[in-house]
């Protein structure tokens, strides 16, 4: 069974982590390839404008496989050098693939999102949480550190002090706390989580496809660029946007007080 199930709904790609018997634990040794393949397919398909990531069963992802850790098998087998290389080849490939996704990504967090699972959810541009979701980064409780880039990502999502509290205590937070801390955009009832995610995705998918990808790229680059650097990038990208047919259609639609009909050209 493939880790990731992909479903197309018009211009929306729904990615489901499909390992429910193990609470969608990550990663097995071929999971990096699975994420890279799914993300590459979306990036190369101009007919996809937005993606949703969720988990099958009662968890989003429980994170690392504790039995494999204890048995020092799979990802955790062998020397320190071997484990380091597997982190680069597997874990880092997962997070690099998601971070490099060119279309907006919505995480529909349906249950526990722990460790790597929490950080994967944090890579999404927008996060919706079931009221039953919980979030945690219990690495230090296990004598570990975030090997997946979470020490870079989590402070950007919740601020340094709250990231420090989550990491240093290893304590989990519930969905309402995640909302108050800015880790999620909204909390909804479990039965309507995917309906709300799809509704939001449909609204996003109705926007000009090229402008969506350009806008996401600028937001990501703006995290680390100086203001002057971002202005230069914005001018270059905006010049290209002005030459698209979707730009002309968007302006005309506003003038005529009607919805725009965008085709990615």
Taking alpha carbons only, the member of 53, 57, 69 closest to residue 118 is 53
Answer for the pair 138, 170: CB distance below 8 angstroms, yes or no: yes
Domain extent, residue 102, equals 4-205
The verdict on 147 and 238 lying in the same domain is no
The verdict on 120 and 193 lying in the same domain is yes
The verdict on 134 and 193 lying in the same domain is yes
**Total domains in the fold of the chain:** 2
Is residue 263 domain-resident?
A: no
The verdict on 215 and 192 lying in the same domain is no
The verdict on 219 and 246 lying in the same domain is yes
Of the residues 171, 190, 205, which one is the last residue of a structural domain?
205
The verdict on 106 and 217 lying in the same domain is no
The verdict on 231 and 187 lying in the same domain is no
Ranges of residues in the chain whose predicted pLDDT is under 50: none
The verdict on 235 and 180 lying in the same domain is no
pLDDT in tens, 72-101: 999 999 999 999 999 999 999 999 999 999
Is residue 260 domain-resident?
A: no
Taking alpha carbons only, the member of 142, 145, 91, 141 closest to residue 120 is 91
Q: So what's the pLDDT on residue 73?
A: 94
Answer for the pair 75, 40: CB distance below 8 angstroms, yes or no: no
Is residue 54 domain-resident?
A: yes
Is residue 265 domain-resident?
A: no
The verdict on 68 and 104 lying in the same domain is yes
Q: So what's the pLDDT on residue 83?
A: 96
Angle at 216 between CA 211 and CA 222, to 5 degrees: 125
Answer for the pair 7, 38: CB distance below 8 angstroms, yes or no: no
Question: How is residue 191 written in tokens?
Answer: 């039965």
Q: So what's the pLDDT on residue 1?
A: 58
The verdict on 98 and 155 lying in the same domain is yes
For 151-171, letters b (16+ CB in 10 Å) and e give bebbbebbeeebbeebbeeee
Is residue 79 domain-resident?
A: yes
CATH of the domain at 89: 3.90.226.10
Is residue 14 domain-resident?
A: yes
Q: So what's the pLDDT on residue 2?
A: 79
The verdict on 145 and 242 lying in the same domain is no
Is residue 160 domain-resident?
A: yes
Answer for the pair 166, 137: CB distance below 8 angstroms, yes or no: yes
Is residue 264 domain-resident?
A: no
- Average pLDDT for the chain: 96
Taking alpha carbons only, the member of 82, 76, 154 closest to residue 114 is 154
The verdict on 239 and 169 lying in the same domain is no
Query: Beta partners for 55?
Result: 17
């Amino acid at each position: 069974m493939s880790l990731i199930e992909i479903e197309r709904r018009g211009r929306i790609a729904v990615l489901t982590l499909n390992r429910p018997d193990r609470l969608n634990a990550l990663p097995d040794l071929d999971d990096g390839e699975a994420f890279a393949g799914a993300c590459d397919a979306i990036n190369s398909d101009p007919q996809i404008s937005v993606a949703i990531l969720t988990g099958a069963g009662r968890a989003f992802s429980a994170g690392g496989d504790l039995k494999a850790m204890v048995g020092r098998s799979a990802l955790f087998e062998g020397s320190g050098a071997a484990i380091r290389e597997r982190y680069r080849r597997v874990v880092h490939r997962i997070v690099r693939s998601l971070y490099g996704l060119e279309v907006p990504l919505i995480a529909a967090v349906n249950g526990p999102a722990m460790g790597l699972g929490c950080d994967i959810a944090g890579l999404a541009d927008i996060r919706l949480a079931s009221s039953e979701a919980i979030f945690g980064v219990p690495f230090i409780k296990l004598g570990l550190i975030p090997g997946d880039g979470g020490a870079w990502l989590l402070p950007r999502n919740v601020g340094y002090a709250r990231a420090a509290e989550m990491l240093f205590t290893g304590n989990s937070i519930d969905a309402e706390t995640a909302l108050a801390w800015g880790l999620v955009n909204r909390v909804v009832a479990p039965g309507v989580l995917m309906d709300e995610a799809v509704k939001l995705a449909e609204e996003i998918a109705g926007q000009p496809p090229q402008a969506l990808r350009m806008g996401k790229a600028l937001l990501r680059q703006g995290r680390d660029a100086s203001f002057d650097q971002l202005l230069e990038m914005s001018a270059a990208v905006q010049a290209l946007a002005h030459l698209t047919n979707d730009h002309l259609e968007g302006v005309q639609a506003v003038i005529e007080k009607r919805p725009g009909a965008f085709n990615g050209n």
